[in-house]
Amino acid sequence: MERTFAMVKPDGVRRGLSGVILDRFIRKGYRVVGLKQLVISRELAEQHYAEHRERPFFGELVEFITSGPVVAMALEGEGAIAGLRTMMGATNPKDATPGTIRADFATTIGENIIHGSANADDAARELGLFFSDAELLK
């Protein structure tokens, strides 16, 4: 079993898509082992996007992700990291395959509804940022 992190971003929460997205993951067979809604602090946002700190869009990422509530999810299943990435679709919704979350719901690359861990190292780091061990189901 593999664990990964996913997050419905403020645009998705604002549009009431959290339940629809969570339902897709559950129907695909992933187990929810952690779930919470929160407003991300600037400090947490900067830690979450630390690998982009030197990029020109870093400030925009931090501003957007702290602009409203998000829904953080810890999900578990066989091949969960790659599976969720496939379900999310390309970062730019214009390039996303029809039927993926971003193709179905996202409008722009800057407001693309969802985040998911890119690899096992990112998943471990992001799960640790958003969930304590006590908050995750065993």
Tell me the residue range of the domain where 125 lies. Answer: 2-132
In-domain check, residue 33: yes
CA 79 – CA 93 distance, rounded (Å): 23
* Per-residue pLDDT reduced to its tens digit, 43-89: 999 999 999 999 999 999 999 999 999 999 999 999 999 999 999 99
In-domain check, residue 72: yes
Residue 75, pLDDT score? 98
How many domains does the structure of the chain reveal? Answer: 1
Mean pLDDT confidence for 86-93: 97
Q: CATH number for the domain including 125?
A: 3.30.70.141
Residue 63, pLDDT score? 96
Tell me the pLDDT band of 95, cut-offs 50, 70 and 90: very high
Residue 137, pLDDT score? 94
Share the mean pLDDT of the chain. 97
How big, in percent rounded to 5, are the helix, strand and coil portions of the chain? 45, 20, 35
Per annotation, catalytic residue among 102, 115, 126, 130: 115
At 116 the three-state DSSP class reads: strand
Residue 136, pLDDT score? 96
Instruction: State yes or no: is 115 an active-site residue.
Output: yes
Residue 91, pLDDT score? 94
* Per-residue pLDDT reduced to its tens digit, 15-29: 999 999 999 999 999
In-domain check, residue 137: no
Report yes or no: 37 and 70 within 8 Å, Cβ to Cβ: yes
In-domain check, residue 138: no
By CB neighbour count within 10 A (0-12 exposed, 13-18 middle, 19+ buried), where does 134 fall?
Answer: exposed
Residue 48, pLDDT score? 96
Tell me the pLDDT band of 105, cut-offs 50, 70 and 90: very high
CA 30 – CA 38 distance, rounded (Å): 22
In-domain check, residue 120: yes
Residue 29, pLDDT score? 98
